[in-house]
A and B are shown apart, each in its own frame.
Chain A
Amino acid sequence: MNMAFAFDCGLAVVVTGVAGWIVLTRATFGAVAGFVGFGLLLTLAWVRLAAIDVALTEAAIGSLAGALMLSATARLRPREPTTAVGPGPMSRVVAALLSAVIAAALAAAVLSLPDPAPTLTPAAAEHAAATGLGNPVTNVLMAFRAMDTLLEKVVLLLALVGVWSLAPDRFWGGRPSLLRRVEPGGTLDFLARLLPPVGIVAGIYVLWEGANHPGGAFQGGTILASMWLLVLMAGIAEAPAVGSRRLRLTLIAGPSVFFAVGLGGLFLGDAFLAYPEAVAKPVILVIEFAMTLTVTVTLALFLAGPPTREPFP
């Protein structure tokens, strides 16, 4: 048995163990802390599967989801029941039976998969040269399955609308508040002035490398979003008012550019989202840049939460 195999087995056991612990633990905070660790372990698992793009995305989404859940935990804490009120024995039995049936059905489905599994990999690899990009994952995301990526970005926008809709009427159009008790010249202030220049370069680097290596708009956007959040939390800059026209235009920049290119393909080319082969790479880069802008702002505003201050008259 070689070292790599032993490591993979250990990783699988730990991932499953942590997942079980998250489900079983009673304390919400503990479960969220476990979930953050679970995300990092999962990132490691994706690296071991040589899926670096997915690993980067998991690291980005995992930490974002962790931060969102931590703030939700803090908000829920006063209302959390101190004594656990469990379901009765009857519903426990029914739930256990249902879970067992679902687990058995899933196991049967997995066991009956055809071997080798049907795959589109050869088809994707065969046409890889058409776009001029070196990263096959970006090829699939931006060209072969561009429709999915477009809709995904629209979903992000809808989610942000969902967050904003939690605002009370009088705060509508106002600014979310991220301000903590920050002393000027303190530790957070220092970090928020030192780190962003490095982080912004790193974010754009990840975006740019996405054409040929693992990386891309989402991963780069997450790094940029965290830099912006750092600046907002240190109180160096103000969060934008959610009613601001400039903010709204930034939010729809990515999907609009994507959609416009898609319509262009419909009228000038063969189909919706068909890129002219000669300029496929520049077109994809333009979409990626617009998307990065939107992803950055959307993700940061997720964490900033609904507006809590009245808009200025």
Chain B
Amino acid sequence: MSVLRDIVTATAVVAGAFFFMAGTVGLLRFPDPLTRLHALTKADSLGLGLIVLGLLPRATGLLAALKLILVWLLVQLAGATVAQLIAREARRGMPST
């Protein structure tokens, strides 16, 4: 049981870290603000989701697990909204296509 739990945790956290890494590479390499935002927010939402998923089996109780999920949801909400706001500001400075 505990081995299975460790495997779930390790797989999910490593996968999450991979998405964070991919998002960071995108942030550094993509050519303009909109694509950079795209890389960052998509990868971060998924990456954090996977890390929370990996940590859930290790939570000390139901309340701690719910808090972890709440953190993930709040980051999702903030990330998505801020990405929209930044993108809107960035588009102001661009030629309309």
Contact = CB atoms under 8 A, between A and B. Distances in A.
B47 to A, nearest CB: 16
Contacts of B88: 187
B31 to A, nearest CB: 19
> What's the dominant secondary structure at chain B's contact region?
helix
B74 interface: yes
A190 B84 CA distance: 12
A195 B77 contact: yes
Nearest to A195: B77
B81 interface: yes
How many chain B residues sit at the interface, stated as a range, is: under 10
B67 to A, nearest CB: 10
B77 A188 contact: no
Contacts of B77: 191, 194-195
A198 interface: yes
A281 B84 CA distance: 46
A187 B83 CA distance: 10
A188 B81 contact: yes
Interface string A180-194: 000000011011001
Nearest to A199: B74
Contacts of B84: 187
Contacts of B85: 187-188
A194 B84 CA distance: 16
B26 to A, nearest CB: 18
Contact of B74 (A187, A190, A198): A198
A191 B79 CA distance: 11
Interface string A149-188: 0000000000000000000000000000000000000011
Contacts of A188: 81, 85
Nearest to A190: B81
Nearest to A192: B81
B34 to A, nearest CB: 15
Nearest to B70: A198
B14 to A, nearest CB: 14
Contacts of B74: 198
A188 B86 CA distance: 11
B83 to A, nearest CB: 9
Contacts of A195: 77-78
Contacts of A194: 77
B88 to A, nearest CB: 7
Interface in B59-77: 74, 77
B13 to A, nearest CB: 13
Given A187-B84, A195-B77, 12 more contacts: A187-B81, A187-B85, A187-B88, A188-B81, A188-B85, A190-B81, A191-B77, A191-B78, A191-B81, A194-B77, A195-B78, A198-B74
14 contacts: A187-B81, A187-B84, A187-B85, A187-B88, A188-B81, A188-B85, A190-B81, A191-B77, A191-B78, A191-B81, A194-B77, A195-B77, A195-B78, A198-B74
